[in-house]
Amino acid sequence: EYYFRHMDGCTVSSEAERQRLIWCLEA
């Protein structure tokens, strides 16, 4: 739910955060 809110809300500021979101989706 956290990553969904993040993607639906504002854009990811850092690359690391973006990678974390990708890992969560792939997990």
Report how far residue 23's alpha carbon sits from residue 12's, in angstroms, rounded to the nearest whole number: 14
Total domains in the fold of the chain: 1
One-letter amino acid of 16: A
The residue whose two tokens read 């979101």 is: 21
pLDDT at 1: 53
Q: Can you give the pTM of this predicted structure?
A: 0.36
pLDDT at 13: 60
Q: Six-digit token pair at 9?
A: 């809300």
pLDDT at 9: 55
1-27 confidence digits (pLDDT tens): 555 555 555 555 677 777 887 887 886
* Residue 2, φ and ψ in degrees, nearest 5: -60, -50
Range of the domain at 2: 1-27
